Amino acid sequence: MGPYRAVAYAGPVTTPEAEPTNPETPAAPDGGRPEQDGGRPEQDGGRPEQDGGRLKERLKERLKRLEEQPGTRPGEQPAGEPEARSGEQPAGQPGERPEERLEKAVRAAEQALIEYEIAVETFRVEVENFSRLHHQKLGPMYARLDELDALIAEAVAARSGDPDDRRKADEARARVLPMPGVEELFHGWMDGEGLFPEAAAMLTDQSVRPPQRVRPSDEARKLYRELVRKAHPDLAQDEQERERRDEFITRVNAAYGRGDETLLRELLGEWDAGPAPEEQQPTPAEELYARLEWLARRKELLAVVAHDLEESAIGSMLKLAPDDPDRLLDEIAEQLLAQIAEREAELERAGA
The DSSP-derived string for 142-162 is: HHHHHHHHHHHHHHHHHHH--
Please tell me the least confidently modeled range out of 197-211, 270-284, 307-321.
197-211
| Domain chopping of the chain, boundaries | 1-68+96-181+284-352, 201-273
| Residue-wise pLDDT tens digits, 54-93 | 555 655 565 555 555 444 444 444 444 444 443 343 444 4
Q: Which helix H or strand E contains 302, and what residues bound it?
A: helix 284-311
Structure confidence at residue 115 as a pLDDT band (50, 70, 90): very high
Q: Tell me, what's the pLDDT at 77?
A: 42
DSSP assignment, residue 279?
Answer: P
What integer is the mean pLDDT of 155-165?
A: 89
Predicted local confidence at residue 285, as pLDDT: 86
pLDDT for 242:
92
- Higher-confidence position of 187 and 251: 251
Average pLDDT score, the chain? 73
Report the C-alpha gap between 76 and 250 in whole angstroms: 51
| C-alpha distance across the termini of the chain, in Å | 25
Burial code of 86-117, b = ≥16 C-beta within 10 A, e = fewer?
eeeebeeeeeeebeebbbbbbebbbebbebbb
pLDDT at 16: 40
Residue 220: CA atoms inside 13 Å, Cβ hemisphere, count?
17
pLDDT band at 237 (very low <50, low <70, confident <90, very high): confident
What pLDDT does residue 72 have? 41
Lowest mean pLDDT among 1-10, 87-96, 153-162, 306-315: 1-10
Q: Does 293 or 186 have the greater pLDDT score?
A: 293
Structure letter (DSSP) for residue 70: T
* pLDDT at residue 32, as a whole number: 44
- pLDDT category at 175 given cuts 50, 70, 90 is confident
Mean pLDDT of 295-322: 90
Query: How does pLDDT run across 181-194, given as a tens digit for each residue?
Result: 544 445 555 554 55
